[in-house]
Structure 1
């Protein structure tokens, strides 16, 4: 019987599954939203929410070490820095539910259910250089006319 067995296997071994979750979590932290299959997103959501909760710990060193124990790879320190400095402080008043899953159409070749997983109410810093370039471009066009 399957009583009290949490999580999905996703047709992978334990080490492959943990490596995949770690890679997907680091991609989500860097890009703030990723496109993936629905079962992977449903598995990734609690994993990432736990990392965000770790980043909100009062003891910053302990939270950073907990994050580093879950994220494996070369960019684990960068992921921990982004979580501790950018994402965690934005969710200080929120008790949970940091991610959202938005369903998309099925994938064309194998008809897999696709979705987007993203952070909820996350303020992303806009690039000011692009805004000034667009404004300057408009001014140049006005001058030419």
Structure 2
């Protein structure tokens, strides 16, 4: 049963799902705006807050190197570099709500609900 389960599976195995989320996250950080399905956008929306808050905590404390190492295991190096530099300054006064999901019209080929996720 799906009671109290928060993560979406996207009809993929765990490794494929993690790779999909990682590539969506990398694309969003590098391009600051991506167009994807609504379910994927909502899933990334919750993860962005957690990762940016962790990077912000690392800036305040002396755990900066350890946190950057942890993030670099999960994300690409260019993403971690941009995340630990530009985004920390941009979202310094904000506590959450770093992204917005804008719903679009359905895709013509398969009628999937589409959305744009972008940084505020």
Q: What TM-score, normalized by structure 1, do the two folds share?
A: 0.75
For structure 1, the 5+ residue unaligned runs are 121-145
Which 4+ residue blocks in structure 1 deviate beyond 2 angstroms? 1-4
Q: Are 1:66 and 2:70 matched, yes or no? A: yes
Q: What TM-score, normalized by structure 2, do the two folds share?
A: 0.90
Query: Highest CA radius of gyration, 1 or 2?
Result: 1
**Displacement, 1:60?**
1.9
**Displacement, 1:3?**
3.1
**1:54–1:67 Cα contact (<8 Å) kept:** no
**1:45–1:99 Cα contact (<8 Å) kept:** yes
- Bigger relative contact order (CA 8 A; separation at least 6): 2
Distance 1:103 1:7, change over 3 A: same
Give secondary structure in 1 for the equivalent of 2:95.
Answer: coil
Q: CA RMSD in A?
A: 1.2
Give secondary structure in 2 for the equivalent of 1:56.
Answer: helix
Residue correspondence of structure 1 range 1-145 to structure 2 within 5 A: 1-57=1-57, 58=60, 59-71=63-75, 76-120=76-120
